[in-house]
Structure 1
Amino acid sequence: MKHWVSEWHLKNIILVTLIGIITGLIFWIMDPIYTAVTAVLTPLGLAPFAGSILLGFWTMAGPLALLVVRIPGSGLLAELLGSVVEMLLGGIWGASTLISGLIQGVSSELGFAVTGYKNYGWLSVTLTSITTTVITFGYQLIRQDYAGFSAGLIVALFLVGLVSVFLFSGVLSLLIARMLERAHLLEK
């Protein structure tokens, strides 16, 4: 534990804070997009897919922070800060955004924890996409009462969410982290 705490230098705290603020703005921008996508899908009877399609945007703070800062806990902190920013800007889910941020932060940490926080490539991105989708979907299953849906619809919602999380939270975060490394803005 002492080693983990000693890794938190001011530059790491500032970087995680910036990631949290920037992704919080993205989360907030996604709120009206979510509303618009829901409005388009509702007449088709597909409204629940709006959240699954866009899920990857709301879960990107954790993996991005972990890929950039590479310190256990940075993903949780970035997701929480992002959810605070979204909530304070008037996000559509209000204070419940903090619960989502906590759940998404913990689930993103789990993907990297499986490798002992030693892999910051495709393996961790894939693992964190799986853990984030499973845990976040489990929360949505309860919170949004997906239990009333048919098994086929539940599976489809999960798979769409998994693809969204992998593409936006996983692949996009990895590409951003690698671009920052190539620009020599990050230490290896």
Structure 2
Amino acid sequence: MIKRSLHLRDIILLALIGIIFGVIYFAAGFVYNGLTVLLTPIGYGPMANDLTMGIWCMAGPLAGFLLRTPGAAFLGEFLGAAVEMLLGDQWGAANLISGAVQGIGSELGFTFTLYKMYNWLTLLISSLTLTFVTFGWDWFRNGYNHFSGQMLIIMFIARFISMFVFSGILVKLITNLLQRAHLIKH
């Protein structure tokens, strides 16, 4: 079932997802910085980005999975990034660009299923599209093109695992909890 428009309840839920995940994203910045400090002496500092990327991409799949409306995944991710920026994180307004890129990656996963399937396969596809889109963005933004092939493979695999754990498994568990609590109906 595809909903073509958002109702007030959907807009409120989308706003809540953006606010809650904006706070989570802000806190994830500290985890990212800590991992960077720990991994840099052994030459894997840039991998902190890939290990934590799944955290920063949770709002999109959750919004898409809960609202089941085209554009919901993009909006959820973008709003989360905007709230993170407003909280004063270290990346500032660049968060809006990252939020848009991550939102596109998340939305693509639901687009490939034509907004008709909402199961593990959808979350796997969304994790894959998020991994490819965000890795491509980091290729240009963070200079991933300067890393060796071996390092790129390790970083890509780490990013996919992070995406699947946080934006796949954890999102599905959150959705299941919300359904069991009768807070959402599908």
TM-score normalised by structure 1 residue count? 0.96
Partner SS for 2:4:
helix
Question: Which residue in the other structure is 1:4 paired with?
Answer: 4
Q: Does 2:147 correspond to 1:145?
A: no
Give unpaired runs (5+ residues) of structure 2: none
C-alpha separation between the residues in 2 aligned to 1:40 and 1:115?
Answer: 39
Which residue in 2 is equivalent to 1:186? 184
In structure 1, the gaps of 5 or more residues are: none
TM-score relative to the length of structure 2: 0.97
| SS state at 1:4 partner | coil
CA-atom RMSD in angstroms = 0.8
Which residue of the other structure, out of 13, 19, 24, is the alignment partner of 1:21?
Answer: 19
Secondary structure at the counterpart of residue 13 of structure 1: helix
Q: What SS does structure 1 have at the residue aligned with 2:88?
A: coil
The alpha-carbon deviation at position 97 of structure 1 amounts to 0.6
Kindly provide the CA deviation profile for residues 66-113 of structure 1, in whole angstroms up to 9, marking residues without a partner as x. 111111111111111101110011111111110010010111011011
CA distance in 2, matches of 1:125, 1:47: 28
How many angstroms does 1:39 deviate by? 0.4
Aligned-residue offset at 1:37: 0.7
Whole-Å Cα distance in 1 between the matches of residues 25 and 80 of structure 2?
7
Amino acid at match of 2:108: L
| 1:164 and 2:162 aligned | yes
Instruction: Find the counterpart in structure 2 of residue 124 from structure 1.
Output: 122
Aligned to 1:71: 69
Name segments (4+ residues, structure 1) moved above 2 Å.
Answer: none
CA distance in 2, matches of 1:91, 1:73: 25
